[in-house]
Amino acid sequence: MPALADKINKAIGPDNAVLAPLHTSERVIARITDGIYRQPSSALRELISNAYDADAKEVVILTDAPRFSRITIRDNGHGLTPEALEHMVQNIGGSAKRRLEGAKTGDTDKKDPTKSPGGRTLIGKMGIGLFSVAQFTRHFLIITKTKGAKFRTIADITLGPIYSEQRLLALDKDGKQDLEAGCAKIWIEPAAEKDAQGTEITLLDLLQRTKAELASSDFWTKRDFQMDSSETNPVKPPRFHIGQVFVKDTGLHKEESCLPWKESDKGSVRFAKLVEAVRTTAAGEEDNPSLETTFDNYLRMLWTIALWVPVPYMEEHPFDLTPDGEMKFFLIENKIRGRANDLHLKKSEKLREKLDLKSPALAKGDIFKVIIDELESAEF
């Protein structure tokens, strides 16, 4: 039987699409359902990590906030060959990264499986990053192209149930059950630009609970109820939020947004103001300030992603901080009843030097930035 990649190469147009089941294992299902990807920020982080490992210079995410009708993640990385796409749909959780077959699918450096083709240290591990979108939707579209290819590949993917209704396929070589996790409809189309490359993932038909979480619907519903019942002290919105739209007419705002930036601000300025909003709140007079009272769910998602993804710190890396007369540094013991011991850094001594700390970094001249709804991270 011809390999799936060979069939894909001959499937020109959606009418000739190849149908392929998605294969995974009980182990992967357990990882997906144990909570690590329950937050939207976790799923988006995994997709950003995939783009980083594909040597992308830029990732653009559009969430359609505050309506969240669909989410698009677009990068200019190497893209997926039909062979890489075949491995992905047939081995969810069986990443080719850090393995010799990674070079064959174009996922890794030909000599070092721990590096990307462009020499970055890989940060993806389990090969289930794409499957993490199950927390967003059961239906998504992948459009991908590699440099020099005369065609782009489209995969229309529908995920099946991931809890109690999984279909057993067979026993793998270790005697563990293989599961069918959905179906992919894959075809190719001629590409106008031969040298273009990258991947675009569009999350369609977002789950209602995910849309409600991103829109902070629980809060607004509670507040609407209190306002309708003429409660004298209704809950206050977070200090900054994206507003509330009418359920029946998503083009209109029921509550206007209150954001830390201006509409005219550029992306990097918007991000700087997001960070400054946290600093100002933390240094303010408010008792026990928190992210929950500062940001709504959407803005907290942006903040969390900024802490996780491999983009540079705005000013300098924490390892490179030095005492300034007010700032002190402590080493916390990782044991029961452990203590926080003052490090007693010299005036110009850095944490990196004191504790011999190391952190991953892009090679000189390499760039990776993330843009989410016009909020833009800084460049190296």
pLDDT tens, position by position, 287-324: 677 889 999 999 999 999 998 888 888 878 888 888 87
DSSP 258: B
Residue 376 lies in a domain: no
How many Cα atoms sit within 13 Å of 56 on the Cβ side? 29
Which pLDDT does position 361 carry in this prediction?
A: 74
Domain end position, chosen among 297, 316, 335: 316
- Helix, strand, or coil (residue 276): helix
pLDDT tens column, 244-295: 887 665 556 678 899 999 999 999 899 999 999 998 888 776 667 788 999 9
Of how many residues is the chain composed? 380
The H-or-E segment that residue 223 falls in is helix 217-228
Q: Encoding tokens for residue 68?
A: 């969240």
Q: Is residue 360 part of a domain?
A: no
CA atoms lying within 13 Å on the CB side of residue 211: 18
165 pLDDT higher than 80: no
Give the residue carrying structure tokens 């029961």.
336
pLDDT at res. 187: 97
158 lies in the same domain as 293: no
- 364 located within any domain: no
Count H helices and E strands in the chain, helices first. 11, 14
For helices 297-308 and 40-53, the axis angle rounded to 10 degrees is 30
Q: Are residues 312 and 322 in the same domain?
A: no
- Lowest-confidence region among 43-52, 154-163, 295-304, 361-370: 154-163
- pLDDT above 70: residue 340: yes
Asked if residue 287 is part of any domain, the answer here is: yes
Looking at the domain assignment, is residue 378 inside a domain? no
Q: Give yes or no for residue 380 having a pLDDT over 70.
A: no
Name the band, by pLDDT with cuts 50, 70 and 90, for residue 183: confident
Which residues are registered as beta bridge partners of 72? 62, 202
Q: Quick check: 152 pLDDT over 70?
A: yes
Query: Are residue 99 and residue 179 in the same domain, yes or no?
Result: yes
Q: How far apart are CA 37 and CA 243, in angstroms?
A: 26
Has residue 154 got a pLDDT over 70?
Answer: yes
Q: Are 311 and 370 in contact (CB under 8 A)?
A: yes
Q: Are residues 228 and 293 in the same domain?
A: yes
Structure tokens at 284: 């303010």
pLDDT at 287: 67
Chain-centroid distance, C-alpha 330: 32
Question: Based on the structure, what is the number of domains in the chain?
Answer: 3
94 pLDDT exceeds 60? no
Round to whole Å and give the CA distance between 244 and 256.
7
| pLDDT for res 302 | 95
Asked if residue 367 is part of any domain, the answer here is no
104 within some domain: yes
Mark which of 206, 226, 258 sits at the end of a domain.
206
Residue 2 — pLDDT band, cuts 50, 70, 90?
low
Q: Are residues 68 and 115 in the same domain?
A: yes
Peptide bond into 238 cis (omega under 30): no
> Does 287 share its domain with 326?
no
Q: Considering only residues 206 and 132, tell me which one the structure prediction assigns the higher pLDDT.
A: 206
Residue 73 and residue 119 in one domain: yes
Residue 128 sits in the same domain as residue 25? yes
Is the predicted pLDDT of residue 338 greater than 80, yes or no? Answer: yes
- The whole domain housing 186 covers 4-206
Residue 282 is predicted with a pLDDT of 81
Which among 70-84, 116-130, 320-334, 366-380 has the top mean pLDDT?
Answer: 70-84
Residues 181 and 46 placed together within one structural domain of the fold: yes
pLDDT at 23: 73
pLDDT digit string (tens) for 28-66?
555 554 455 567 888 898 899 999 999 999 999 999 999
With contact defined as beta carbons under 8 Å apart, do 122 and 108 qualify? yes
| Residues 172 and 200 reside in one and the same domain | yes
How many Cα atoms are found within 13 Å in the side-chain-facing hemisphere of 219? 20
User: What is the rounded distance in angstroms from the CA atom of residue 144 to the CA atom of residue 141?
Assistant: 10
Average the pLDDT over 163-180 and give the result.
Answer: 49
Q: Are residues 59 and 196 in the same domain?
A: yes
Instruction: Check which CATH number belongs to the domain holding 157 and give it.
Output: 3.30.565
Percent of the chain with pLDDT over 90: 37
pLDDT of residue 251: 57
Please check whether residue 25 lies inside any domain of the structure.
yes
Residue 115 shares a structural domain with residue 245: no
Indicate the DSSP class of residue 196.
-
Indicate the pLDDT class of residue 375, thresholds 50, 70 and 90.
very high
User: Which of 206, 225, 258 is the last residue before a domain boundary?
Assistant: 206
Question: Is pLDDT above 50 for 170?
Answer: no
The 10s digit of each residue's pLDDT in 221-233 is 888 888 888 777 8
Between vectors from CA 24 to CA 159 and to CA 59, what angle results, nearest 5°?
60
